[in-house]
Amino acid sequence: MTQEALLEVLEANGLLQQKSCGALRLELLTGGFWNRVYRLRSQENSSFDWVVKQFVQVPVNPLFPILPSAESAALQFLQDHKCAPKPVAFIAESAVGSLLVYEYVPGSSWNGDLDAAATLLARVQRIPLNAFAKQAFRKLPTEANALQQHAQAMLLRHPGALSDSVRQLRPAIRSSSAFVFLREVLVHTDCGPGNMVSSPAGLRLIDWQCPGVGDGLQDVATFLSPAMQVLYGYPILSTAQEQKFLSAYLSALSENPSDSQETLARFNSIRSSHHYRFAAYCAMRMQDTASTDEKTSRLYSLALHAEIQLLHRMSS
């Protein structure tokens, strides 16, 4: 695919004028695991600054699927809440595949501000779901048994010693009957530090390619996951940093101390199942790429080791 072909699709869909195309600069960005992401700027108009995301056809990822229409829906749902990029357009089908266009978020990768990250997740989760959201997003597993079954399915893709060693870490399921599931929220599902941008207007969550409706604690576990920190090139959070993050999250999520206590109790009851699923995913991806991409396989090996260490710590 040439850059000219991509610009032609945008022009054909009424997003660009032919006379302006010569003044546009299309730059391929780095950092994405799957899709091609471009920054489109005008040399004549500094306020014209877009991201054009071109979705690629890859095998279905059981934990982080590529869902173009769902990402478009997430940006629409969040556009008035200052926590995600503002959508411009979504082209479901074209000669160059599905394209999502949104305003570029200036800034840098997450700067390590735990309070800001926790508050951002809480802000998203305080937005009530409307009829549009309930129809647009997939349902996510929310209970320990369903999470562990998902992990088991991923481990079955590569029978052998590695998968067996991860399976031995399967945590006991605590009874969740005492915890009331307060409400379903929009869940990013892939909210590692690499998908947070520290912009002049505040922290923003990007890459909403696999959102769903479920338990907001999934995003909390995802952010705290050692594997996610490793995969995005960040240091693993210490216990003190985890506690700082959780304190800020609970404070931003609810003004009611009893609600915060219940949320924390639920998180402590289900967290190990989320990390077990992350470990299963890392083991699967490590073996998926072992013969084709040694660098990626080694990265997932490091992420798996980090997740296993946390599971051991939690079990003790």
pLDDT at residue number 181:
57
- Are 250 and 260 in contact by the 8 Å Cβ rule? The answer is yes
Measured CA to CA, the distance from residue 78 to residue 81 in angstroms comes to: 5
Enclosing H/E stretch for 99? strand 99-103
69 and 132 assigned to the same domain: no
Measured CA to CA, the distance from residue 163 to residue 147 in angstroms comes to: 16
Q: What is the CATH number of the domain that holds 231?
A: 3.90.1200.10
Count of structural domains within the chain: 2
For the entire predicted model, the pTM comes to 0.95
To which residue do tokens 């893709």 refer?
A: 157
Give residue 192's domain range: 109-315
The token pair that represents 313 in the structure block: 């710590």
pLDDT at residue number 254:
86
Question: In 104-218, which ranges are E strands?
Answer: 108-109, 138-139, 185-187, 196-199, 202-205, 212-214
The token pair that represents 160 in the structure block: 């052998």
The token pair that represents 224 in the structure block: 């705290």
156 and 51 assigned to the same domain: no
98 and 237 assigned to the same domain: no
Q: What are the respective helix, strand and coil percentages of the chain, to the nearest 5? A: 45, 15, 40
Domain boundary residue among 73, 104, 135?
104
Q: What is the CATH number of the domain that holds 40?
A: 3.30.200.20
97 and 113 assigned to the same domain: no
Measured CA to CA, the distance from residue 79 to residue 133 in angstroms comes to: 13
Q: Residue-wise pLDDT tens for the chain (316 aa)?
A: 578 899 999 999 999 986 566 688 999 987 666 799 999 999 888 889 999 999 988 888 999 999 999 999 999 999 999 999 999 999 999 999 999 999 999 999 999 999 999 999 999 999 999 999 999 999 999 999 999 999 999 999 999 999 999 999 999 987 654 555 568 999 999 999 999 999 999 999 999 999 999 999 999 999 999 999 999 999 999 999 999 999 999 999 988 888 899 999 999 999 999 999 999 999 999 999 999 999 999 999 999 999 999 999 998 8
Q: Which of 195, 78, 171 is nearest to 128 (CA)?
A: 78
Domain boundary residue among 74, 104, 134?
104
Tens digit of pLDDT for each residue in 33-46? 679 999 999 988 88
Query: Residue 34 in 3-state DSSP?
Result: coil
- Are 261 and 155 in contact by the 8 Å Cβ rule? The answer is no
85 and 176 assigned to the same domain: no
159 and 21 assigned to the same domain: no
- Are 13 and 88 in contact by the 8 Å Cβ rule? The answer is no
Tens digit of pLDDT for each residue in 149-179? 999 999 999 999 999 999 999 999 876 545 5
92 and 116 assigned to the same domain: no
